[in-house]
Amino acid sequence: HSDAQEAENSLHELAALAETAGAEVLDGMLQRRPNPDPATYIGSGKAQELREIVAETGADTVVADSELAPSQRRALEDVVKVKVIDRTAVILDIFSQHATSREGKAQVELAQLEYLLPRLRGWGESMSRQAGGQVGGQGAGMGSRGPGETKIELDRRRINTRMAKLRKQIASFAPARAAKRANRDRHEVPSVAIAGYTNAGKSSLLNRVTKAGVLVENALFATLDPTVRRTETPDGRLYTLSDTVGFVRNLPHQLVEAFRSTLEEVADSDVIVHVVDASHEDPSTQLATVRDVIGEVGARDITEIVVFNKADLVDDDERLLLRGLVPNAVFVSARTGEGIETLMDRIADAIPRPDVTLDLLIP
Ligand code: GDP
């Protein structure tokens, strides 16, 4: 596959990431040039074009797929007149939404500070004006959730102190984590985690399944974590279905630890629904990568249901190939609804049934 195709794929993934982070994606722009422009990265002509797109669409943020130098980011902001962030900032934003455990939160904050440190002077006023939360605060726009907005008060030394403290905390969590794994509590309500690459269709599938089943309303539950839903099997057993943090191609290496700790929620689930984009150019590599990491976070023994989503986009020959890859996979389309009932039956079979006690058997 050509570089142009690769850039196009990467841009699609970036759009999916931005949507996961809560943004509405209005437009995209690709540029080919042998070397980045030292001033604005994309060059002044393209920057003007971008400014027009921003003005026409009313966008309030530009997301760059590449890592910009602080000076390039500022120069670009001066031209386009809105906030400019990069891919890493979007990913960090998603991680902070998914981090639920104390360790996960600490790992994500550490990654945010590592990201922030070399950019301290680069963060423009537009950022601090918009945000105004405390460290780790929520509520600001995409890319500004987290410690970014407090840069004015926090000098480098204090950030370094905080990072040292977080590293110590994280090291102290490790033994507790192992113990927790060893005697994993059976959940009162079985939990099903949806894992897979960003853009595989995890959240579309979550919506499909919970819409097809009975969505059990629970306001408190809903506000606690928007990525978790309660639903029922066809025979009326409750379970939770959660969308886990998506895998990303070419994850920046400084985010690997934060990603793993955020993904650890899958190690706590009873069943993993592993969603693969059937129309992807290389599903077998994606499948293997996800399985490797699932193993590494301690979820190797959890029942896995492999789902080839976007079945509406593949022909019979391709299905045959995928079937060869995972013989008992379920083919579904979150778009057309194909296979959703089969998937729900498979989930129903896989989740643990309540223990039947003797007094039920002997009257
Ligand atoms: P996530 O990042 O894994 O949560 O993926 P999304 O659910 O956001 O879906 C990513 C993109 O794939 C969106 O543009 C969806 O509309 C599209 N999509 C999801 N499921 C299907 C499907 O079954 N068929 C087709 N053709 N597109 C789908």
Tell me the best of 94, 98, 199, 312 to mutate to test the pocket of ligand 1, counting ligand atoms within 8 Å of each CB and taking the most. 199
- pLDDT at residue 132, as a whole number: 40
Residues 143, 85 contacting (CB under 8 angstroms): yes
Rounded Cα–Cα distance for residues 268 and 184 (Å): 8
- pLDDT at residue 123, as a whole number: 45
Beta bridge partners of 228: 242
- pLDDT at residue 165, as a whole number: 96
- Among protein residues, the one with the nearest Cα to ligand 1's atom 22 is 310
pLDDT in tens, 322-348: 999 999 999 999 999 999 999 999 999
Residues 135, 151 contacting (CB under 8 angstroms): no
- pLDDT at residue 151, as a whole number: 53
Query: Would you place residue 212 in the very low, low, confident or very high pLDDT band (cuts 50, 70, 90)?
Result: low
Beta bridge partners of 238: 232
Q: What value does the mean pLDDT take over residues 230-241?
A: 89
Residues 307, 345 contacting (CB under 8 angstroms): no
Taking the CA of residue 352 as centre, how many other CA atoms within 13 Å lie in the half-sphere pointing to its CB? 13
pLDDT in tens, 195-205: 999 889 998 99
pLDDT of 186 strictly over 60: no
- pLDDT at residue 223, as a whole number: 40
Of 336, 346, 328, 344, give the one whose Cα is nearest residue 309: 336
Rounded Cα–Cα distance for residues 108 and 273 (Å): 25
List the Cα angle 47/48/53 in 5-degree steps.
95
Q: Which two tokens stand for residue 55?
A: 């003005």
Residues 212, 340 contacting (CB under 8 angstroms): yes
Taking the CA of residue 291 as centre, how many other CA atoms within 13 Å lie in the half-sphere pointing to its CB? 13
Of 281, 196, 329, give the one whose Cα is nearest residue 6: 281
Taking the CA of residue 198 as centre, how many other CA atoms within 13 Å lie in the half-sphere pointing to its CB? 26
Residue 161 CA to ligand 1 center (angstroms) comes to: 42
Q: What value does the mean pLDDT take over residues 210-220?
A: 56
Q: How far apart are the first and last CA of the chain?
A: 67
Which of 17-21, 128-132, 244-248, 336-340 is predicted most confidently? 336-340
Give kind and range of the element (H or E) at residue 231. Answer: strand 228-232
Pocket of ligand 1 (CB under 6 A): 16, 20, 198-204, 246, 309-310, 312-313, 333-335
Shortest-distance atom of ligand 1 to CA 207: 7
- What count of other Cβ atoms lies within 10 Å of the Cβ of residue 302? 17
Q: Is the pTM above the cut of 0.80?
A: no
Query: Would you place residue 30 in the very low, low, confident or very high pLDDT band (cuts 50, 70, 90)?
Result: confident
Taking the CA of residue 50 as centre, how many other CA atoms within 13 Å lie in the half-sphere pointing to its CB? 27
Residue 153 CA to ligand 1 center (angstroms) comes to: 41
Query: Would you place residue 355 in the very low, low, confident or very high pLDDT band (cuts 50, 70, 90)?
Result: low
Of 204, 192, 242, give the one whose Cα is nearest residue 221: 242
- pLDDT at residue 124, as a whole number: 45
Rounded Cα–Cα distance for residues 146 and 140 (Å): 9
pLDDT in tens, 159-180: 899 999 999 998 888 776 656 5
Give residue for tokens 């907005």.
149
As a whole number, the mean pLDDT across the chain is 82
Residue 205 CA to ligand 1 center (angstroms) comes to: 8
- pLDDT at residue 141, as a whole number: 64
Residue 1 CA to ligand 1 center (angstroms) comes to: 22
Percent of the chain with pLDDT over 70: 80
DSSP string, 245-278: PPB-TT--GGGHHHHHHHHGGGGG-SEEEEEEET
Q: What value does the mean pLDDT take over residues 314-329?
A: 96
Shortest-distance atom of ligand 1 to CA 20: 2
Rounded Cα–Cα distance for residues 185 and 187 (Å): 6
